[in-house]
Amino acid sequence: MLAFIIQRLLQSILVMLTVGLIAFGLFRYVGDPISNLVGQETSLAERDALRERLGLNDPFFVQFARFAANAAQGEFGYSYRHRRPVEDVIAERLPATMELSLVAALLALAVGVPMGIYTGLHRYGVISRAFLTVSLVGISIPTFLIGILLILLFGVELRWLPTFGRGEVVHLGWWSTGFLTTSGLQALIMPSITLALFQMTLIMRLVRSEMLEVLRTDYIKFARARGLTNRTVHFGHALKNTLVPVITITGLQLGSIIAFAIITESVFQWPGMGLMFIQAINDVDIPVMAAYLCLIGFVFVVINLVVDMLYYLVDPRLRVDRAVAAGHPG
């Protein structure tokens, strides 16, 4: 057990180092830190002095070590555009994205799992086929188009829901939440549905195929042979066995949802990290890009680690090829 944990931890650290290296490369070589700091009239001598002072003449790995040490403490320097420490900007935007992603994930689970079970059990039913067709149409319409259509219908034609932003937020310490106000909850509805749709179809299809797989096993056949009712077999035996991979993958998908929020946030002008990242790309605001990358990398690594540990706890022999099971997180 300990060996496993240590191995996984080492691996995670390696991943973070890789991500950090990419972020550092961005930071150091893509946006020239010097020309972003000085004006036109700065002389060459002054530039060299600044270069020396910022330690840009040090050997590569010394610089990287410094970057990594700062990053580990959450320091990424100043945003070119916002003129504030990047970590402050991110802290301001983090709650918006987290709340949106969480609601979307729950929504995806709450709708996706029952639909998956149903279509798994009633493979040839009319409703199942309808579900599958709708889900296929659903993943074929790009997220942004769905968002636009929702805004047009519910925001503008029917005027039921706000069309942009987060509504009123309440500040709890540094965290700002939209859960506590009516307008905040209303503002959450359309973006979270938009964000959840793709994951919903993914979960539905996953649950369905897991159900089909399990129902074919000898274990289930044996259960039936014992004369158990369909209900007991389906929900007592089959469902229980499908849930482990489903929960794993949903957990892993949480990271994807956070990243996918980029699109949704951009359509709904949701003031989260995704919108910030898009603005940073447009402005070539390298420190913000680097920090966002590191943060997302960190989130993914942590989720992966937690899932691995849980897996190990549940069944040490279980070695599911998660990549295949996860499908294609596009």
Site for other proteins in 231-290 (CB under 8 A): 255-256, 259-260, 262-263, 266-269, 271, 275-284, 286, 289
Give the number of residues written for the chain: 330
* Interacting positions 190-229 with other proteins (CB under 8 A): 209, 212-213, 216
Smallest distance from other proteins to CB 59, Å: 23
> Smaller CB distance to other proteins: residue 67 or 268?
268
* Interacting positions 138-167 with other proteins (CB under 8 A): 139-145, 148, 151-152, 155-156, 158-165, 167
As given in the structure block, the two tokens for residue 109 are 């689970």
Which residue's entry shows tokens 């289930």? 220
Alpha-carbon distances of 39 from 43, 81, 105, 280, rounded to whole Å: 9, 15, 46, 21
Smallest distance from other proteins to CB 261, Å: 10
Which residues touch 27 (CB under 8 Å, ≥6 apart)? 33, 67, 76, 77, 286, 287, 290
* Interacting positions 72-111 with other proteins (CB under 8 A): 78, 80-85, 89, 92
For residue 271, the number of C-alpha atoms closer than 13 Å in the C-beta half-sphere is: 15
Which region among 11-19, 103-111, 224-232, 236-244 touches other proteins (by CB under 8 A)? 11-19
Question: Is 47 an interacting residue with respect to other proteins (CB under 8 A)?
Answer: no
Smallest distance from other proteins to CB 229, Å: 26
Query: Residue 259: what residue type?
Result: A
Which region among 53-61, 106-114, 178-186, 311-319 touches other proteins (by CB under 8 A)? 178-186
Smallest distance from other proteins to CB 127, Å: 17
Q: Residue 256's closest CA among 39, 68, 89, 108? A: 108
What is the DSSP-derived secondary structure letter of residue 314?
Answer: H
> Smaller CB distance to other proteins: residue 62 or 141?
141
Smallest distance from other proteins to CB 254, Å: 11
For 195-230, b/e burial (b = at least 16 CB within 10 A) is bbbbbbbbbbbbbbbbbeebbeeeebeebeeeeeee
> Smaller CB distance to other proteins: residue 109 or 270?
270
Report the chain's terminal Cα–Cα distance, integer Å. 34
**How many residues sit close enough to other proteins to count as binding (CB under 8 A)?**
94
Phi-psi category of 223—alpha, beta or left, where left has phi over 0 and alpha has psi -120 to 50? alpha
Question: Is 67 an interacting residue with respect to other proteins (CB under 8 A)?
Answer: no
> Smaller CB distance to other proteins: residue 117 or 259?
259
* Interacting positions 25-44 with other proteins (CB under 8 A): 26, 30-31, 36-42
> Smaller CB distance to other proteins: residue 155 or 232?
155
Q: What values do phi and psi take at 251, rounded to 5?
A: -60, -45
Smallest distance from other proteins to CB 96, Å: 9
Q: Are 109 and 250 in contact (CB under 8 A)?
A: yes
Count of CB atoms within 10 A of residue 104's CB? 27
Question: Is 325 an interacting residue with respect to other proteins (CB under 8 A)?
Answer: yes
As given in the structure block, the two tokens for residue 116 are 């998956």
Smallest distance from other proteins to CB 227, Å: 26
> Smaller CB distance to other proteins: residue 218 or 321?
321
For residues 182 and 168, give the distance between their C-alpha atoms in angstroms, rounded to a whole number.
Answer: 8
Question: Is 54 an interacting residue with respect to other proteins (CB under 8 A)?
Answer: no
